[in-house]
Amino acid sequence: MQYLEAVQAGIEFIEARLEEDIDLAEVAAAARMSQWHFQRIFKGLTRETLMAYVRARRMARALERLQRTDDRIIEIALGAGFESQASFTRAFKKTYGLTPAAYRRLGGRNPFPKKLRADRAYLEHLQARVTLEPEIVAQPALRLVGLRTRFFGSGSEKNNVAAQLPGLWAAFLPRLGEISGRVPGVCYGVVGPAVDGGEELEYHAVAEVSAQAELPPGMVELVLPAATWARFLHRGPPEALDHTVDYVYSAWLLASARRHTFGPDLEIYGPAYAPGSETSEIGYAIPIG
């Protein structure tokens, strides 16, 4: 299944179940992807999280029902995923500045622009922008040592990257000297889904080692098998790295004949990395087949 078709399959799954509880893992399964990769690609394409899209589509459906049907507001509220008419009314007024009943009294006059749906035409429009080509690198197996944490990425409503990752690096970097056999000059951030699935991800702040060695207290070893990587260059502060990742997962993957193998991604911090500098460089690599 091609990426465009996969995302469309996920969207169609959502559209068919807007008035039901939607399990994100089931959406990803409909797209034949892991939950993390589907959420990452979806965010790259639409610039919003999967659950934000679901909420927006439910609210758009509610607008249509208020305007075109005589359904009771409580029925529309429950169909939009709210537990009560009161909670629906609060959310509606916060979003649109008037109550559902007041909106219904407007009749056929709709003062709100329709939300753009992530349908095939929209996805193809996003795909058509100018792209940049990565360096394709055949990388031998990497033996890595460092610290790890779990977190929720930018594709999740629970995004806590800023709370988790800087502290991990702050704990790891002063301990580089404890790692025997360390290959100098570069550190890696390795990110992938947690082994027990779900939305939570696992992140390793690590350095490469030349051979198996005794682990410093509290550190872990990670071995990445030999792989082919598409390596992109991000310029600027690390806080903006997510924009580069969005580009990789939307424009480049959709236009490329290559396919993500669904292994972990790599952040690469070499000599050109300079925190706080607009000229700082970070490598971002995805495993491809």
Tell me what the mean pLDDT of segment 252-268 comes to: 87
Q: Output the average pLDDT for the chain.
A: 85
Q: Identify the pLDDT of residue 81.
A: 87
Q: Identify the pLDDT of residue 112.
A: 52
For the chain, the maximum distance between any two Cα atoms, rounded to a whole number of angstroms, is 73
Instruction: Indicate the pLDDT class of residue 211, thresholds 50, 70 and 90.
Output: confident
Q: Identify the pLDDT of residue 116.
A: 47
Q: Identify the pLDDT of residue 265.
A: 95
Tell me what the mean pLDDT of segment 246-264 comes to: 83
User: 138 pLDDT exceeds 50?
Assistant: yes
pLDDT in tens, 173-192: 999 999 999 999 999 999 99
| Cα 210 from Cα 205, distance rounded (Å) | 17
CATH number of 3-125, picked from 1.10.260.40, 3.40.50.1220, 1.10.10.60, 2.30.110.10: 1.10.10.60
User: 27 pLDDT exceeds 80?
Assistant: yes
Architecture of domain 135-288: Alpha-Beta Barrel (3.20)
Q: Identify the pLDDT of residue 202.
A: 94
| Cα 140 from Cα 231, distance rounded (Å) | 14
For the ranges 48-52, 80-84, 118-122, 226-230, which has the lowest average pLDDT?
Answer: 118-122
pLDDT in tens, 71-92: 999 999 998 889 899 999 998 8
Tokens linked to 45: 């394409």
User: 131 pLDDT exceeds 60?
Assistant: no
Tell me what the mean pLDDT of segment 32-48 comes to: 83
Q: Identify the pLDDT of residue 119.
A: 54
- Give the predicted TM-score (pTM) of the model: 0.71
- What are the extents of the domains in the chain? 3-125, 135-288
| Cα 8 from Cα 46, distance rounded (Å) | 12
